Copies of this chain bind each other. A is one copy, B any other.
Amino acid sequence: MRPSKRDELVRKALTVFYRDGFHATGMDTLVQETGISKTTMFKHFRTKEELILAVLRLRDENFRNWLMRRIADLSPSPAGQLIAVFDALEEWFAEPDFRGCLFIKAAGEYPEEGHPIHAQSAEHKRLLKKGLEAIARAAGAADPNLLARQLLILKEGAIVAAHMGFDPDPAGAAKSAAKGLLAQALGSCATSERSDELHAERKPGCQPLCGDPA
């Protein structure tokens, strides 16, 4: 259990930053909320920015793993998985501690393109697009790149809508839009892909995203 304190810090800092924001969270707050001394924090991370970058790395890994596993559990076919993205989102939105997307927040608080935090947040989205594009290609989409970009735009929009609460069912609205896009991209042959009738149970190891890791 060598690097446990460091990991524990990153895990707990994630929940605090996610809950309260980056600038709004001071290092003293983190000391109080994590129970880890400030000395130790600054031994593992030379600056607050380095800690934030580590938090973003952890979140990137957690989120992409969670999403990909979840949609694989929800549907066996690539086309069904693309739609299942929005079922997974719906589950996420329903979590009590849901507060939007950490990377959108980070990009908002560090808005300069060249800032490491901004750049790393953008990289997360690029990796997501890559993942969706691979699935779109496997599904036989006419233009996998375009379809992936459109689905990602729907996903980001649904997250914003869910966080700001201006849509009663953002995942549902995005899902129905995605179905139309998919039907169009796959040609008229597979219009009514029935991907959502099997609502797979969460498999063990596939935990909710917002839960307190304490």
Q: Which residues of A contact B (CB under 8 A)?
A: 19-21, 23-24, 99-100, 103-105, 107-111, 113, 118, 121-122, 125-126, 129, 146, 149-150, 152-158, 160-161, 163-167, 170, 173-174, 176-177, 180-181, 184
Q: How far is the CB of A165 from chain B (nearest CB, A)?
A: 5
A129→B122 CA distance, assembly (Å):
27
Chain B residue with Cβ nearest A162:
B153
Contacts of A154 in B (CB 8 A): 153-154, 157, 177
Which of B100, B176, B181 is in CB contact (< 8 Å) with A108?
B100
A180→B143 CA distance, assembly (Å):
15
Chain B residue with Cβ nearest A164:
B122
Quick check: A100 and B111 within 8 Å, CB to CB?
yes
Contacts of A105 in B (CB 8 A): 108-109, 111
Q: How far is the CB of A104 from chain B (nearest CB, A)?
A: 6
A158→B155 CA distance, assembly (Å):
10
